Amino acid sequence: MAAINAVKIFSGSASNYLAKEIAKYYGKDLGAATTLRFSDGEMSPSFDESVRGCDVFIIQSTFPSADNLMELLLMIDAARRASAHYVTAVIPYFGYSRQDRKDRPRVGIGAKLIANLLTAAGADRLMTIDLHAGQIQGFMDFPVDHLEGTAIFIPYLKSLELENLTFASPDVGGVVRTRNMAKFFNANMVICDKHRKRANEIASMQLIGDVEGANVVLVDDLIDTGGTMCKAAQLIMDKGAKSVRAIVTHPVLSGKAYENISNSVLTELVVTDTIPLKEECAKIKVLTVSELFAKAIGRIRDHESISSLFIKY
């Protein structure tokens, strides 16, 4: 029989590698769960141990395919139907977050739809890191713990001891994130202003600010094809920078991303393990978010503030 309000951590198929590390840092084994798959691809997740009266944390990033999202929803539903006391969806990478508004006629708002699905499945809480747009928190009708990748990236950047440090935003949308990093290091900031013809295709880009002789760090929440990041890095080097590297929380890395990064002027691309890499790349360094999530789970369990997990700017 499970202890009342005991914490149990489970994982979907896509994030098992990360969930094991989170559970290890938390100090307990990952809960036993099984996902059966029918011959047509339909899945049926189940818990192999009691969750009655427990605070259940289900870890699953929702990157493609959509099966990852569906598995998470079914696991939340299964936990609710098994009389779990409290169900937290831990979604390190929140898929569809780029669809946070109507930016053209007759389109859906994917992030809001995912929020509705999480509510319908029975989630009581969401824990995630570096949403593409902060306002997505307002789509949820339950508490959201929105962690920040800066807690992981800042110690790493400190260890590099770079001189004449300058931070760059690869687009106007990332200015706030980049400004916070620049403020912490008391460094300068520049902006790459881009214009797109369509998704994943850049028409033009201009640099606002001076990078002459600087070690530049590009800051973003996710990298997809790498087109924007690599073009921004080249523009920065062309303007006289000493070096340019990028820190990005979510390595979506689709299409020719690995080729683009390998052939770019980037010294390195520093990412986290919210999404597993599809292949090795000498220029990509991975930092783990496992300890950060484990600490957040512990604070939620103890009804403590998680503000100590955030960098103070």
- Burial of 164 per CB tally in 10 Å (0-12, 13-18, 19+): middle
3 state DSSP class of 79:
helix
- For 29, the token pair is 């084994």
Q: Is 194 noted as a catalytic residue in this protein?
A: yes
State the Cα–Cα distance between residues 274 and 276, nearest whole angstrom. Answer: 7
Rounded alpha-carbon distances, angstroms, from residue 257 to 76, 179, 217, 263, 281: 33, 26, 19, 10, 10
- Please, what's the b/e burial string for 83-121 (b: 16 or more CB within 10 A of its CB; e: otherwise)? ebbbbbbbbbbbbbbbbbeeeeeeeebebbebbeebbeb
Radius of gyration, CA atoms only, the chain:
20
- DSSP readout, 9-37? EEE-GGGHHHHHHHHHHHTSPPPPEEEEE
Q: Angle of helix 150-160 relative to helix 175-185, nearest 10 degrees?
A: 50
- Give the torsion sign (CA, 123, 124, 129, 132): positive
Residue of 8, 112, 183, 194 marked active site: 194
Residues 29 and 17 sit within 8 Å (Cβ to Cβ) = no
Sign of CA dihedral 118, 119, 124, 129: positive
CB count within 10 Å of CB 138 equals: 11
Other Cβ atoms less than 10 A from the Cβ of 48: the count is 9
Task: Enumerate the active-site residues.
Answer: 194
